[in-house]
Amino acid sequence: MIKTNPKNARAKRALEKKESKLVENVKTALFIQGSTGTRLLHDAMCDLSAFKKPDIKRFQKKNDIKPFEDASPLEFFSEKNDCSLIVFSSSNKKRPNNLTFIRTFGYKIYDMIELRIQKNHKLLIDFRKTTFQLGLKPMFVFNGPVFDSHPTFKHVKSLFLDFFRGQTTDLQDVAGLQYVITLTAAEVEEGKALPSVYFRVYKLKSYRSGQKLPRIELEEIGPRFDFTIGRVEQPSPELEKEAMKKPKQLETKTKKNIETDGMGDKVGTIHVGKQDLGELQTRKMKGLKSRFDQVGEDFDDQEYEYANDEVVEDYEPAQKKQKV
Amino acid sequence: MSKAEPQYKPVTVDKPIPVNFDLGNLATFDPNPVETSQLEQNKEQYLADLNRDNVQLMINQILSLPIKTTTESANGKDSSLTLVRLPAPTTDLPREKPLPKPKPLTKWEQFAIKKGIHKTKSHDKKMFDEEKGEWVNKWGYKGKNKELDDQWLVEVDEKHVGTDKELIDPRSLARGERKKLIKKNLAQQKRNLRNAE
């Protein structure tokens, strides 16, 4: 860990901003070129960062890092720049056009995956289509059952969702639904290499359909990448458990005695205390007031004794009196 | 409509296995198997059609969510916004940093818990000055604790009578006392920070 003592208020505020929060900020992505990066990789990273703007940082200089051998420089960059998503580019004969997607948790490597761009790529600039506004929340489509079953593809799904989803919100502007990021993968066949992941981005066009819902057409805006999956590093179970923890403070408390029945109606239960009928207020009459009690003059002895006994024995409810 | 304009795709889509949604993340997960033969022959068209159907399904879902309309005025113009109320995201994604740890108690707070001391009322900075007839700061700018500083005549404190402090200006004595308290508090803060690590 880099330890610093803030010397002034601004530095202190900056440090506080970096601290872990209950509700987290949008993850920032850091794009690092490897020493063997190519023109294509540079352009591909530019295109990917276009979708992630404004939460990006890009390094201009090349860095000689081998993520799967020694990831400590990446951890350092992650902490220094407060970025938890890193894209690292490298290209060599064995692993051509390779993008390594790295996620960090608490400035330590969480998981890594290598995605290699196949030959038939098409960049944003090749499409020459009108694109979308900056900083919009994208929609996602994941095609194929592998994204729910195979651990590597689950990793890919989680990575792309985490990477591009932007701010989580409970209110979404309908006009902001402008583009969709899609990933498609075929079935995994045993004995063969893992199937490619097809990364496509489309812009939405909606037309009136004559019905209430609009008819949607898609127009590809790029980039278009077919990824081959390379080396993968999964998080250890303990780290994963730690990273998936949900803060207790944010859990919604269930309110007692309020239920929703089968019809969707809200039903409340009200608990009233036991009613003591002896205390019941009956009709008020002047003659029944206590100052008109005839206890002093001609009072029935028997009744008097009984009432006395009752006090001595125990405090019995008034019902007993009525029985006698 | 389909007869007149057959090139138009339908608004409703049928899938053999129903599609899953995570509307909090605006995501659709299609568990239907991808056809490998189609992928080999006409990949782009097949992918475009597949994605269109799924996006249509998602848009249908999103527009059926509760909708809130508000008006936003920018540059003197009123424009109405249609907002969709999204549910909470259901896909678990890792956090960026570990959950924040609760702040360690200071020495005073530990002591207060042990002794059962509660804060009685809010620690207000303002107090009412009877002489001036207005609300003044207890400390800080023109604070009440600096009252002595600008008096033209100050009594010597009884406890200083007969000691060597008797001849020192009582204003500077009071100031010294104040500074001492600040120093003490800073030292306590430092100690608490040290203990917290």
Contact A209 B29 (CB under 8 A): no
Contact A170 B85 (CB under 8 A): yes
Percent of chain A predicted with pLDDT > 90? 45
Confidence of residue A54 (pLDDT cuts 50, 70, 90): confident
Position A132 pLDDT exceeds 70: yes
Among B31, B68, B99, the residue with its CB nearest the CB of A145 is B31
Q: Residues near B103 by Cβ (< 8 Å), separated by ≥ 6? A: B196
Q: Which residue of A has its CA nearest to B28?
A: A141
Residue A218 β-bridge partners: A204
Region A85-101 average pLDDT: 93
DSSP-derived letter for residue B133 is T
Coil/strand/helix, residue A310 = helix
Q: pLDDT digit string (tens) for A260-301?
A: 888 888 888 888 888 888 888 888 888 878 888 776 555 555
Cα dihedral B185, B190, B193, B197, rounded to 10, equals -160
Q: Which residue of A has its CA nearest to B96?
A: A105
Contact A24 B48 (CB under 8 A): no
Contact A143 B86 (CB under 8 A): no
d(CA B149, CA B171): 5
pLDDT at position B11 is 77
Å from B40 to nearest chain A CA?
11
pLDDT at position A299 is 53
Among B1, B93, B97, the residue with its CB nearest the CB of A210 is B1
Residue A101 β-bridge partners: A87, A113
Helix axes A151-164, A39-52, angle to 10 degrees: 60
Confidence of residue A97 (pLDDT cuts 50, 70, 90): very high
> Chain-wide mean pLDDT for chain B?
86
B36 touches chain A (CB under 8 A): yes
B39 touches chain A (CB under 8 A): yes
Q: Which residue ranges form the domains of chain A, and what is each CATH number?
A: 24-250 (3.40.50.10480)
CB A102 within 8 A of CB A86: yes
More confident residue, A306 or A83: A83
CB B84 within 8 A of CB A174: yes
Contact residues on chain A for B82, CB-CB shorter than 8 A: 173-175
Contact residues on chain B for A247, CB-CB shorter than 8 A: 99
| Complex ipTM > 0.90 | no
A59 touches chain B (CB under 8 A): no
- In this structure, the number of other CB atoms found within 10 A of the CB of residue A101 comes to 23
Residue B30 β-bridge partners: A143
Residue from A26, A103, A142 whose CB has the most chain B CBs within 10 Å, to mutate: A142
Region A134-160 average pLDDT: 91
pLDDT at position B112 is 92
d(CA A104, CA A88): 13
Q: Among candidates A55, A56, A156, A59, which has minimal Cα distance to A114?
A: A156
Q: Which residue of A has its CA nearest to B18?
A: A145
Contact B59 A213 (CB under 8 A): yes
pLDDT at position A173 is 87
Confidence of residue A2 (pLDDT cuts 50, 70, 90): low
- In this structure, the number of other CB atoms found within 10 A of the CB of residue B71 comes to 8
Residue A234 to residues A27, A41, A241, A243, B28: CA-CA distances in angstroms? 19, 24, 13, 13, 24
Region A29-54 average pLDDT: 91
Q: Which residue of A has its CA nearest to B53?
A: A216
Contact residues on chain B for A150, CB-CB shorter than 8 A: none
Residues 172-211 of A with CB under 8 A from B: 172-175, 177, 180, 182, 184-187, 198, 200, 202, 204, 206, 209-211
Residues of chain B with pLDDT below 50 are: 1-5
Among B26, B83, B97, the residue with its CB nearest the CB of A106 is B97
pLDDT at position B197 is 77
A164 touches chain B (CB under 8 A): no
Confidence of residue A163 (pLDDT cuts 50, 70, 90): very high
Token output for A6: 């803030």
Residue B135 to residues B86, B92, B139, B149: CA-CA distances in angstroms? 49, 53, 12, 19
Q: Which residue of A has its CA nearest to B66?
A: A171
B59 touches chain A (CB under 8 A): yes
Contact B86 A171 (CB under 8 A): yes
pLDDT at position B27 is 92
Contact residues on chain B for A177, CB-CB shorter than 8 A: 26, 59, 62
Contact residues on chain A for B49, CB-CB shorter than 8 A: none
Contact B97 A24 (CB under 8 A): yes
Å from A111 to nearest chain B CA?
10
Contact residues on chain B for A147, CB-CB shorter than 8 A: 29
Position A126 pLDDT exceeds 60: yes
